[in-house]
Amino acid sequence: MVAMSEKSQKMFYSVRARQACRARLFFAKRFDFSINLFLHFVDGSDTMEVPFFILTGLESMDTRITPTTKYSYREYQLFPDNGMRHEIVDGDHYMSPAPSTRHQTVSRRIQFQLYAQLELKGLGQVFNAPTDVELAPHDIVQPDILVVLQSNAQMVSTKRIRGVPDLIIEILSDSNPDHDRVLKLEMYQRAGVPEYWIVDPEEEFVEAYVLAEGRLKLVDTHRKSIRIATIPGFEIDLNQVWGK
């Protein structure tokens, strides 16, 4: 963790968005725990704030970095490719380490069954992390698995998915299960995700949430098999997922 006191300084870095880049450094008192970099494009676009480690290579071990202004996809594109998963939820920046081998095994087995039942039949596309999903201007995440049906194929671009997938699946991590159970559940509900699964790879069960009256409601907990509530006729064999 990069620990900074209130007496530590914040760097403001002004960049001219033209051919010649002229920079000036400013120093001011800081009042949070992360060094943030302010990029001000003098061609008239808005000021944006991004973590200072993007340019310096200094990596923070904080789970959450709270900016003074909300991050968007513009800032998201500047986050470093440093082996961490970077996501923006309600404008705040969250980082998480690479998943465990058990996590990835369970993810692969679920994705394989979805791929065989949906994508091979031309009914939709199945994606796994890291795939950028821009649910809203200040909500950009990388779900473990997601499904976009053919009827919504227009939201899939070469760089990211812009819109709400038909099914999102998150696999719990030992380090921070509340990230999927609370933070992301609230975000997916706010975005209007029709169906959300939370997979517990250690206890070997899946919680299925379905959107009803504007809320993602827990409809059942599954251990042996699970049907896709919003896509009739498809079932995932969870015994194969758990390796039984």
- How many residues are recorded in the chain? 244
Domain spans in the chain, listed from the N-terminal domain onward = 9-96, 101-242
pLDDT value for 68 = 63
Q: Which bin fits 202, alpha (ψ -120 to 50), beta or left (φ > 0)?
A: alpha
Query: From residue 40, how far is each of 22, 104, 194 by CA, in Å?
Result: 12, 40, 38
Give the chain's mean pLDDT. 77
The token duo for 177 is 């299960």
Of the listed ranges 58-72, 140-154, 173-187, the least confidently predicted one is: 58-72
Give backbone dihedrals phi and psi of 116, rounded to 5 degrees, phi first.
Answer: -65, -35
The token duo for 95 is 């980082």
pLDDT beyond 50 at 16: no
pLDDT value for 153 = 96
Task: Give me the amino acid identity at 96.
Answer: S
pLDDT beyond 60 at 226: yes
| Inter-residue contact 187 to 89 (CB < 8 Å) | yes
| Inter-residue contact 37 to 69 (CB < 8 Å) | no
The CATH code that applies to domain 101-242 is 3.90.1570.10
pLDDT value for 228 = 92
Q: Which of 37-41, 62-66, 162-166, 228-232 has the highest mean pLDDT?
A: 162-166
pLDDT value for 66 = 57
Q: What confidence category does residue 199 fall into, taking pLDDT thresholds of 50, 70 and 90?
A: very high
Note the pLDDT tens digit of each residue in 52-92.
444 434 343 334 555 567 889 988 888 888 878 889 999 98
Average pLDDT in the 126-141 region? 95
Of 187 and 65, the structure prediction assigns the larger pLDDT to: 187
pLDDT value for 67 = 57
Owner of token pair 């976009």: 148
Contacts 24+ apart (CB under 8 A), 81-87: 84/59, 85/129, 85/130, 85/142, 86/142, 87/140, 87/141, 87/142
Percent of the chain with pLDDT over 70: 72
